[in-house]
Structure 1
């Protein structure tokens, strides 16, 4: 009886010893796997955000292209959201020639020659030339704190702008027969069914500029649209030249 009891006790001790050793090994293995997996999961998350941002920029370009075609059919010349007229820029306060304006935008996004692109963060001063797509203070995706952007685009008031006087507008007329003009962010929202599209990044925000078109007859040239995400506009941007 005594020998049997000793064998049982020995067996229990042996099982406990093995269990503790196995538990310790398993715990160590799980810790190693967790430490290894964490960076991979982080990379996957960042990759998903980047893909989503680029997809949204692609959608904006596609919608803006349709807007351009619609305004060409109805207003006589194609323009982009925010443009008061095809030969006016966004932001409206920009007084540069089309060539100089484009050069400045490219300096922000891709650099010029030996100079690296500069719009690499939402906090840099380059944002002062860029306009919020859906409005800086929109309730759904406002611009992040510490960001400097140009003033939101306002509805056009020029004497020969679409919707002013007898000039036809994509937006038609109101009940009194007066032409309807809209701000840039309202035109963008209309393209997305009244919805606001936001960046997946905490410090992201969608912005745009339009290089004005110009010329007459056979020498006419179209405007050019640039869109970007200020998380890092050098990485997340798109362009449309009809």
Structure 2
């Protein structure tokens, strides 16, 4: 029953975004139609004043056709922009879902294991990243992640970037439903006793979440927690969409 509810919720969420996109496109086309009608009326009035009555219908047809072509060319970039904005918002909503589940997981593990951790972490003070920073200090690792996402606008803005070598797939790079792009440059799937992709999938009832982008894929890193008692620092979770991690990412530190 839980799986059915989650699938239904996911479908309704997609439907809602599609409706929003449709409404935006419809309103924009309606505005263009009104503008076109006004222009057509003015042109028609001008044509009626012309002396040659035989050519009026042909001239009107030619002008109308030309105006329709101009309006279509004007509308195309706007429609494309609306579609891209809808995809970006959809991806951010999915990142929000993943973040919420990760926070729930963290709190559950804090109750059961004594210290909170994120999916894939063996313990709260173990990092999840690629080979380059697997043994880095917390400060070095954190600086590297922020350079990818935020510092000076972030350098990680394409799924093929070398920055991806430090990022691990959330649901598995070879996931049947939502695999990583074939030429994406990301780290190997998390392994060990607490396998990240398995724990993530369990959080979503075995139903992975896919990016709305063709070259998108959800990836993450965890900067390890440190210290103990009043001086303890909780781990930091970074989640991003491979389409453009510098623009689409979430950062969670309980």
TM over 0.5, yes or no?
yes
What whole-Å deviation, never above 9, does each CA across 1:22-60 have from its counterpart, x for those lacking one? 322221121111001000000001101111111111111
Which digits, 9 at most, give the CA deviation of each residue in 1:40-89, with x for residues without a partner?
A: 00000110111111111111111111110111111111100111111111
Q: Give the TM-score normalised by the residue count of structure 1.
A: 0.78
Matched-pair contact (CA < 8 Å) for 2:130–2:187: no
Whether the 8 Å CA contact 2:130–2:165 is kept in 1: the answer is: no
1:47 matched to 2:59? The reply is no
The RMSD of aligned alpha carbons is 1.7
Q: Give 3-state SS (helix, strand or coil) of 2:221's partner.
A: strand
Structure 2: unaligned runs, 5 residues or longer:
1-51
Partner residue of 2:166 out of 129, 133, 141: 129
Larger radius of gyration: 1
Q: TM-score, normalised by structure 2?
A: 0.75
Q: What is residue 12 of structure 2 aligned with on the other side?
A: none
Decide which of 219, 226, 230 is 2:242's aligned counterpart. 230
1:32 to 1:221, Cα distance in 2 relative to 1, 3 A: same
1:72 counterpart residue number: 110
Q: Which has the higher helix share?
A: 2
Residues 130, 168 of structure 2: 8 Å contact kept: no
Secondary structure, counterpart of 1:225 in structure 2? strand
Q: Secondary structure at the match of 1:193?
A: coil
Measure the CA separation in 1 of the matches of 2:56 and 2:106.
73
- Tell me how far apart the structure 2 counterparts of residues 67 and 140 of structure 1 sit (CA, whole Å): 23
CA apart distance, 1:95: 0.8
Count of paired positions: 201
Q: Within the alignment, does 1:63 sit opposite 2:101 as a pair? A: yes
Would you say 1:204 and 2:216 are equivalent positions?
yes
Show the counterpart of 1:220: 232
Distance (Å, rounded) in 1 between the aligned partners of 2:238 and 2:75: 38
Within 2, Cα distance between the matches of 1:15 and 1:75?
A: 89
Residue 136 (structure 2) aligned to one of 67, 88, 96: 96
Q: In the alignment, does 2:182 pair up with 1:145?
A: yes
